Each structure stands twice: as C-alpha cells, then as structure tokens.
Amino acid sequence: MGEAKRRKELGVPRREKPVELPKFDKESVQKKVRATLYKYPIIPFLFYGAAILILVGGVIYVVKFYKLI
C-alpha cells in the first residue's frame, strides 16, 4: 500500500511538495564581484588591513591577559 492511499484512508491531507530554491548562478555573482572590485580597487586593502589589525589586537590581548611580558 502506498503512502497516498494510506493518507487517504487515515483522512490526512496530501503531503505538500517542498519548495524548490532558485539555482545559484555562480558566473553572474563572479561578474558582479569583479565589477565592484574594478570600481573600488581599495576594498581588498581595507579587508587585509582589518584582518591584520584584528590579528595584532588578538596577540596584544593574549599577551596582556597571560602577562607574558
């Protein structure tokens, strides 16, 4: 006995089909990112600078917390 017949006999409503998500278009996202980076070439430097500042800040915090110096 199939699930549809069993649901009908039990008086349970039909199972809803899952909603399909739209396909992810990788090429269009790459084009948008490249266009943004060409328009604002300083963005990578800002990200690298922020990462270095966070890393240095974390090292200073650990040194102060454990009183290594």
Q: What is the pLDDT of residues 10-65, one digit of tens each?
A: 888 888 888 888 898 999 999 999 999 999 999 999 999 999 999 999 999 999 99
Q: Which residue has the tokens 């089909």?
A: 17
pLDDT at 15: 86
User: Looking at the predicted structure, is the pLDDT value of residue 1 above 70?
Assistant: no
Burial of 35 (0-12, 13-18, 19+ CB in 10 A): exposed
Beta carbons of 59 and 51 less than 8 angstroms apart: no
Is the model's pTM score more than 0.85? no
Tell me how far CA of residue 39 lies from CA of 21, 22, 35, 51, in angstroms. 31, 28, 6, 22
Determine the pLDDT at residue 36.
Answer: 96
For helices 26-39 and 43-66, give the axis angle rounded to 10 degrees: 90
